Structure 1
Amino acid sequence: MTGKAADQAAGILAVDIGGTGLKCAVIDDHGTMISERERVDTPHPCHPQALLDAYAGMAAKHPAFDRISIGFPGVVRDGKVLTAPNLGTELWEGFALAEAMSARLKAPARLINDAEMQGYGIVSGKGLEMVLTLGTGAGTALFRNGELMPHMELAHHPVHDNLTYDEYLGVAAYEKHGKHHWNKHVARVIELLYVLLHYDHLYLGGGNAKHVEIELPANVSLADNDAGLTGGAALWRTR
């Protein structure tokens, strides 16, 4: 059991790794926050040891936890990182992050894509629901009746003029084109994703969702960004 001493039962340390910020909080088995969300800037370069050092320092300030849920911005499988486009795939490819985080923080850890972890904190469990995260890049997750579907790395698929979703919707596009033009990009992607999937509901999450100013269709809504942490409870439910 790691973290500050506490009278209450140990919770889950939820870890949300981003290209610009590292976040964490301790949550209970229902996804309710036990501690306040903490955020620090992502170190650059962000090699695995730097990330582990950052989270070791953050975790020590939070209540006790006996499990860890990790949301990572890239393709992950079996506890290992396959791609890390916004952190440096050359630094991360093949790294056993779940095992390393578990060893460093002395608690079992489970690893999932960050958009998928946010989705677990958002979806209603009815129909085909999609999550699109707008941050350093763009992330996606798809759920059918509450069940997570196989991961699609749409972020690196061409969407317009050979630009990928990352390049079309990410923070670099926002800074280059400005809020008004970037919102047009968001509107176009909402339409394209509906043609592709005919989702029942689309949730827009991530740090830059706060910049969305277009009128959204009835089946599209903005999501609470804390869901990137609270969704971590689902990783420890009986499967």
Structure 2
Amino acid sequence: MDVLGIDIGGSGIKGAPVDIEAGKLTRERLRVPTPQPARPGPVAEVVARIVDHFSWTGPVGVTFPGVVRDGVVMTAANVHHSWIGVDAAETFGVATVLNDADAAGLAEMTFGEGRGRRGTVLMLTFGTGIGSALFTEGVLVPNTELGHLQLKGKDAEHRASDRAREESDLSWEKWAARVEEYLRHVEMLFSPSLIVVGGGVSRKAGKWLPHVHLDTPIVPALLQNEAGIIGAAQMAAAPRPAAAR
């Protein structure tokens, strides 16, 4: 069964049909730059454009970069603040909307590095911000938003996201030192059995991950930057109580 998954990020909105039994994209994904400012209307237009591009009439799952509760956006750190309080499911005209990192984590737990893992598994996505998905014995704790933990007096994502790396023109090694500082803080708080790192930088893990040293095993996401699309499609096919709707 194919389901359309759409992943909204701070810099790009990506979508593709997904074989939800195999956890694979069945057509080349379409990526559209996120409108700036990322207000509800323009973002919804891009979502509709992706649906039209694939001539899609079946179920659609959409991720959102913020806390989503019962389809309603509660936070919007990396898109326009006017999203707060908006019923995203109604705005997009779809049944399933969930936090972007939660979607990526669900896909990675089903088809990727988290598959069959017990204990506490933490998925962190590094991009415009830092997204997080926390699992205990395979069960998602939704909307954790650990990128907003305070580190040296500011949100951790303002120091350790991929956008922070680009804006500060950091080498991979110097950025890895910031990431390690953040991960050690998270490690202390949650004592995970595994940390999976996703987002765009997962494709370049060889450039920075060897410079990160933790007590916890840490691996790049197997699904890389497609995880959000796959997770959105998963949830649209089989909604779970832990998801936003």
Alignment check: 8 A CA contact 2:60 2:233 kept: no
**Cα offset, 1:65, TM superposition:** 4.3
Alignment check: 8 A CA contact 2:98 2:232 kept: no
Alignment check: 8 A CA contact 1:12 1:66 kept: yes
1:116 to 2:102 alignment: yes
Cα deviations by residue, 1:3-54 (Å, 9 ceiling, x for unpaired): xxxxxx6x32111000000100111332332221111111101111101111
Give the TM-score normalised by the residue count of structure 1: 0.86
- What is the aligned counterpart of 1:33 among 25, 29, 35? 25
Alignment check: 8 A CA contact 2:102 2:142 kept: no
Match of 1:237 in 2: 238
Q: Percent identity?
A: 32
Give the number of aligned pairs: 223
Ranges of 4+ aligned residues in structure 1 off by more than 6 Å: none
Counterpart residue identity of residue 217, structure 2: N
**Cα offset, 1:84, TM superposition:** 1.0
- What is the aligned counterpart of 1:60 among 52, 63, 66? 52
Alignment check: 8 A CA contact 2:96 2:239 kept: no
Runs of 5+ consecutive residues of structure 2 not aligned to the other structure: 110-114, 241-245
Question: Which is further off, 165-174 or 42-51?
Answer: 165-174
Alignment check: 8 A CA contact 2:5 2:62 kept: yes
SS in 2 for 1:209: helix
What is the RMSD of the two structures over their aligned residues, measured on CA atoms?
A: 1.9
Alignment check: 8 A CA contact 1:26 1:63 kept: no
Cα deviations by residue, 1:133-158 (Å, 9 ceiling, x for unpaired): 10001111101122111422222221
Counterpart residue identity of residue 230, structure 1: I
SS in 2 for 1:95: coil
Match of 1:157 in 2: 149
Give the TM-score normalised by the residue count of structure 2: 0.84
**Cα offset, 1:237, TM superposition:** 2.2
Distance across 2 between alignment mates of 1:177 and 1:111? 34
Match of 1:188 in 2: 181
1:202 to 2:207 alignment: no
Match of 2:112 in 1: none
Match of 1:227 in 2: 227
Match of 1:214 in 2: 209
Counterpart residue identity of residue 148, structure 2: H
**Cα offset, 1:63, TM superposition:** 5.3
